[in-house]
Amino acid sequence: MSRKESWHRMLRLRWNANKRTLPPDRHVPYEVLGHVDELCERGEFDEAINLLEEQRPEVMTYDIRALSRLAVSRYGAGDITGALKALDAADGAIDHAKALIELNRSNILKVMGEFDAALKAAHRVRALAPQWCAGHLMVIAVHECRDLPEDRKAVKDAVDTMKKTWPGWRQDLEFWRYLLTDADYSALRDSRHDFDTLFGDIPENVILDSNTEDRK
């Protein structure tokens, strides 16, 4: 196998390991948004609000266009407080989109071995979306991959920060699935004492597979 072929094979393996950092499809259909615009033009703001609120919450939460239309519709209907609340939600969606960009930046820099830059990007993820597991996990992953003597304490500090800023971390199944299956945390999983001290018992509702079974 040539050096070029080996490089491309390594990139494919890394892609398969990290492709979960791609954003899921979280957008209200264009035809729905178009219908909302038509309703607003006719002054039928309550109908526009109802149509938007019928959309799946996990989609509305991240669709900046839909949230902006919801704000306009609520304003048109005389609900000033609701309009401002929708705009606040749109700000949150923007922060999440920025966090996703920084997450992928951190991951690429980590793979390149640019650990200081990767950490800075990971910290930006954590600051933008403190209630999202990805930023906390990426900070831990970069320290685990760099693996200098000071990274042992840095991992503990990252976990302590996670626990303080994200009270619901233990109930997040996505967090546990990454932690228990991703290659970046394999050394941490192999150190039972460190793992148990940092994270405690694995919740019973985490779906088991061959990787998680060994941790029980």
Q: Indicate the average pLDDT of the chain.
A: 87
**Could you report the per-residue pLDDT of 157-190, keeping only the tens digit for each?**
999 999 999 999 999 999 999 999 999 999 999 9
Give the separation between CA 204 and CA 95, rounded to whole angstroms.
32
122, containing H or E segment: helix 115-128
Provide the pLDDT for residue 39. Answer: 97
pLDDT band at 191 (very low <50, low <70, confident <90, very high): confident
Provide the pLDDT for residue 212. Answer: 47
Provide the pLDDT for residue 169. Answer: 95
> Which own/partner contact pairs does 95-102 have at CB distance under 8 Å and 24+ positions apart?
95/128, 95/129, 96/62, 96/128, 96/129, 96/132, 97/23, 97/62, 97/64, 98/124, 98/128, 99/124, 99/125, 99/128, 99/129, 99/132, 99/134, 99/135, 100/21, 100/23, 100/134, 102/128
Provide the pLDDT for residue 210. Answer: 42
Residue 113, pLDDT > 90, answer yes
Residue 21 — φ and ψ, nearest 5°? -80, 0
Contact 172, 133 (CB under 8 A): yes
**Could you report the per-residue pLDDT of 169-178, keeping only the tens digit for each?**
999 999 999 9
Those residues with Cβ within 8 angstroms of residue 136's Cβ, 6 or more apart along the chain or in another chain: 126, 158, 159, 161, 162, 166, 169, 175
